[in-house]
Structure 1
Amino acid sequence: MKRNILLLAAAAGLALTTACNQDKPAAVDAATTPSADTAVVVDNDVSGADTTIYQDQAYRTADQVAADLGYQNDTARVRRLRTTYYTRAQRIGDLDDATDTAGRTATVRQINTDTDTEVRTIVGDDAKYRTYETNRSRYYGDGSTVTTTTTTTETTRRPRRRGPRIVKYENKGGEVKIVYSNGTTVKIDKDGDRKVEYADGTKVKRDADDGKVKIKD
């Protein structure tokens, strides 16, 4: 009888130990889950980071356009270009998030037309705008300007695209770092200064105070 009681006690102890061990991973996970100030490796999207992503896309595109057209020191034009491209990035993002994809190609075409119209007004020079038109596909970089596509009925839903895929997003004490799948790395410090390093080694630095842009090959 005494032996049976000991066996039952041992079994109960083992069950308790097992339950504790099952709960341990959850406790450890809760204690070590990265906060907003630690690095988070992501796949296709970063929750709550859309605004930063749109802004980054807008700044990169606007700075490149301004540099190509010789407006990198024209802070007023650069600011307007950034606003224009932020609006475009936001509209494309909203379109990507929509569940109804009917008419997507036409909508993207209209978004690009609206963007081009605004850019033409900002540039205010026909020759420079033609340069912009020549480079447009490079600025957009997502193939969205190609509209001659033959469509067929498909049961598989078309995958969403939002430019290069984000593979890493960090926010440490206000210092933001974004790494894209195409090799581009973006760093934004607490003061808003932005540094972009492209896969080919080109570096673009923008001062948040005066808006000046420096490009280093």
Structure 2
Amino acid sequence: MLLLVLVLGAGSACTTSSGAGTNGPLENSGVADGTKVCVPVKTGTTLAFGAEIPRNTGHEDVVIDGVGLAAPHGLRLVEAVLVAARDNLVGLELYPPSDEPGFDWAGRRPAVGATLAPQAKSAEAEPGSTQSAGTASASASAPTQTSTSGSSGTVRNLVVAIRVTGTARAQMSGVTVTYHVGGATYQWRDFTELVVETKKSRC
């Protein structure tokens, strides 16, 4: 089984080294900044990581230009997609995630190039849909997903496929999304830290 250890912390950033602004209309409604996730898997494993839901709080369309891993070590981004979800959201599990009711994995779309229209607050996930600090477990046959607890609207789950290339301890400090609104460029970031132990049976 995959042991997932989450430790709630704190921290955020306001600027990026690329010069992209961080005060754009794309905000998250998922895991709190500073959350740490640890999982023991072997080198070569591909994980599905998708703990955040980008929501456009502005009045104009957002166009995603790029998705990347923040400070990766021993991890490589394979793909990034947006999945329409109503009852289930991907947190962390083996790739590919299962196509559960309320989670349209078969209908996923590439994140880069996607346009996010302004989204009403009624369509965002309820507070019960986010992961919280604690311990969880998953296996290939019983993946870890997060219920929206009856959320009335469909949301966009950002899911990234991450290949473990490191031979000991691999990690990253989050996921970044570069996007533009009109002529202005911004960066959105998920601060969930992922740690992968390839030589241990637990974290």
Higher helix share: 1
Does TM-score exceed 0.5, indicating one fold?
no
TM-score tier after normalising by the smaller chain length:
under 0.3
Question: Which is higher, the Rg of structure 1 or of structure 2?
Answer: 1
Asked which structure has the greater RCO (Cα within 8 Å, sep 6+), the reply is 2
**Structure 2 length as normaliser, TM-score?**
0.24
Higher strand share: 2
